[in-house]
Amino acid sequence: MSSPRFKQVDVFSSVPLKGNPVAVVFDAEALNDQQMATFANWTNLSETTFILAPTDPRADYRLRIFTTREELPFAGLAIRGATTATHSSRYGPSSPATECRRIRRPAA
């Protein structure tokens, strides 16, 4: 796996190194599930997001969210971090529509 382009952003703070850190990986189409999980584990942050092309035409991008242990269907901190990172990138509409991955878990 080559090193994907990513950015670490501070969420909920305008002061560097004072917010909640989130990793945002751009153009993640080339990464498979295991590579995303491995990358999230390497960042060792509470959440790592992966930006992909949307499957819903109303969305600007699709987002997959991983912790060091599992993939999450939704996480406010991660979505806020991805929005912050994408604002100045090529994904950057002022009010982006984000598509999160739906994860079906077996009933307990």
CA distance 103 to 74: 9
Reply yes or no on whether 47 is catalytic: yes
Question: Cα 103 to the chain's mean position, in Å?
Answer: 15
The answer to whether 50 and 33 have CB atoms below 8 angstroms apart is no
Q: Which two tokens stand for residue 76?
A: 């406010």
Identify the DSSP state of 86: H
CA distance 36 to 38: 5
Candidates 29, 47, 70, 71; catalytic one: 47
Q: Which residues are catalytic?
A: 47
